[in-house]
Structure 1
């Protein structure tokens, strides 16, 4: 990480905590990932959804070159380490990221993480923070912690809790060696980093070195392959299957594979983490489930996925598969129509992978 992270201001004096020393956050049991989602036979076959008004946020004051954003196909991309990340950073993408944060929280019944971290963490890192919404929510819930968020783009809000700091940084670069306990972290969080990382093993080794003994790393990743238990070959969604085939192949050409969520548990183990878990949640796409909670979750996820199809197509297929912009938009229109058909019973597996650095807290 950059030198700015080393010189981040020290955390404010801890607030009085009612938790005993060493207490950890209690977490509920994860669901059975093999359990099928029961469809609602009364659900209409088509669902029309729109994202609504774009959300806008202001960003931190930085060198002007950081804001010299390039544009492609009408979308805005990051300027720092240009090309290191294939998705845009414009207002439409920020709105999608905030909606995705809502989907993650709904999936966990409002929680922000699965790891049994200390009940009173002192320093927390959120790399790939995006709009900073997870970092801000965590800081609100743990006011005694100093939360540091890093990202390639300065798209985080200016008005944040006093225990949050944001920095422009590339998580794939060398992290500053943490020389003391005050410079290390009790919890490191990363989310939706698939397609952004070339060397996962190096990332996890650096994270391990930056944690205090007993500290936790949690990665929250989704599989970039939508599934259907009653149509495993996606015969009813051929355009979606083609989109998935093409985008995943493009990510491999790019050198930052998208469909790697299932690999992360073993990578954490190989890096030296202990007590590693991979909690898998089925997240429906659309309002087709019978269960009311899953039905509500699926409505939000449908909007989020439909909003993601275009930037993934434009960002990956035009650069690494020689597709034209028009070809991408035609494919996107077909894919969105298939996503909106609630008879397809589509879902995505979300992986919450977490492990602990050996040693006492």
Structure 2
């Protein structure tokens, strides 16, 4: 029996009705079924934004010999989409602290901070990561690992969205009191926890500093709700509402009750106020989703 798998499955803590990985409160967000649904929904939003593509790094056509790594798999939704989209499928590896994604071709149950457990022979053509805010503490380490474990000429692609909402109408701010309080407290609590959120603006420079070339950033303005005049964005906006319905409590509970010292009752009350504000008509809220790609130079050492 694979005892690493058994340890990963049982290494959980339960708080406020939610399940979290680890006994030392390593992560601020839960990893239960509701969290998997929320993570899968974020991946679905990206799929819509990219018109069904699973990545934009110039690796087409995908071949069976290609090796892809999904870093911090969680729901494993991206890997499933790669398997569904590409025939033949590339050789897929996932790395995560849990092993929820048991359908992966190869899964490495391993801490996501620190050295990655791969040899030079296992170097990848593409490394994909998404929604790292709140998940890792050492971004320099992440980019160093990604650079080290890519083949020369290989690509890193990072999808990141901040937990912030914007409006183009300043008068709407009087209707967003709870939301703005939640955003500020989330930012503070995540920093105190040691795994910051709202880190998208830093990623391009970090990728450059790690040695990547051909670094590009695409920014998508994603509506919250179906208010956009563009049919595709209308659908994406509805998906974003669905995602937040599943994600809001998971984003909030541990950071507020464990890090800020709030009671469960006060935390639930703020969550309810935020949910009510997000239901208001005509706010035309939106968020920014950032996509980054970078290439390991073709003349770089293999590892």
Verify same fold: TM over 0.5.
yes
User: Are the equivalent residues in 1 in contact too, given 2:8–2:98 (CA < 8 A)?
Assistant: no
Q: Which residue in 2 is equivalent to 1:96?
A: 38
Q: Which residue in 2 is equivalent to 1:148?
A: 93
Partner secondary structure for residue 80 of structure 2: helix
52, 55, 60: which one pairs with 1:110?
52
User: Are the equivalent residues in 1 in contact too, given 2:144–2:210 (CA < 8 A)?
Assistant: yes
71, 93, 109: which one pairs with 1:168?
109
Deviations 1:295-342 (A, max 9, x none): 111111012113221111102111211111111110011101111223
- Cα distance between partner residues in 2 of 1:356 and 1:170: 25
- Cα distance between partner residues in 1 of 2:8 and 2:126: 31
User: Are the equivalent residues in 2 in contact too, given 1:213–1:359 (CA < 8 A)?
Assistant: yes
Deviations 1:185-243 (A, max 9, x none): 00000010111111101110111010011100011000121111223883321110000
- Cα distance between partner residues in 1 of 2:35 and 2:53: 23
1:136 offset after TM fit, Å? 2.0
User: Are the equivalent residues in 2 in contact too, given 1:188–1:217 (CA < 8 A)?
Assistant: yes
1:123 equivalent to 2:62? Answer: no
1:357 equivalent to 2:296? Answer: yes
67, 82, 89: which one pairs with 2:10?
67
1:63 offset after TM fit, Å? 2.1
More deviation, 135-144/251-260: 135-144
Q: Which residue in 2 is equivalent to 1:288?
A: 227
Q: Which residue in 2 is equivalent to 1:223?
A: 162
More deviation, 329-338/98-107: 98-107
Can you give the 5+ residue segments of structure 2 that lack an aligned partner in the other structure? none
- What does 1:1-361 correspond to in 2, within 5 Å? 62-64=5-7, 66-79=9-22, 82-120=24-62, 122-142=66-86, 143-158=88-103, 164-176=105-117, 178-180=119-121, 183-231=122-170, 234-359=173-298
Deviations 1:11-38 (A, max 9, x none): xxxxxxxxxxxxxxxxxxxxxxxxxxxx
- Cα distance between partner residues in 2 of 1:315 and 1:230: 32
Which structure: larger Rg? 1
1:61 offset after TM fit, Å? 8.2
1:117 offset after TM fit, Å? 2.5
1:166 offset after TM fit, Å? 2.0
User: Are the equivalent residues in 1 in contact too, given 2:19–2:31 (CA < 8 A)?
Assistant: yes
1:64 offset after TM fit, Å? 4.1
Partner secondary structure for residue 115 of structure 1: coil
User: Are the equivalent residues in 1 in contact too, given 2:37–2:246 (CA < 8 A)?
Assistant: no
- Cα distance between partner residues in 2 of 1:232 and 1:154: 46
- Cα distance between partner residues in 2 of 1:326 and 1:346: 27
Deviations 1:164-199 (A, max 9, x none): 22222222121235333xx10000000101111111
1:139 offset after TM fit, Å? 2.8
Poorly superposed stretches of 4+, deviation over 4 Å: none
What value does the CA root-mean-square deviation take over the aligned residues?
A: 2.1
- Cα distance between partner residues in 2 of 1:125 and 1:225: 28
User: Are the equivalent residues in 1 in contact too, given 2:114–2:141 (CA < 8 A)?
Assistant: no
1:140 offset after TM fit, Å? 3.2
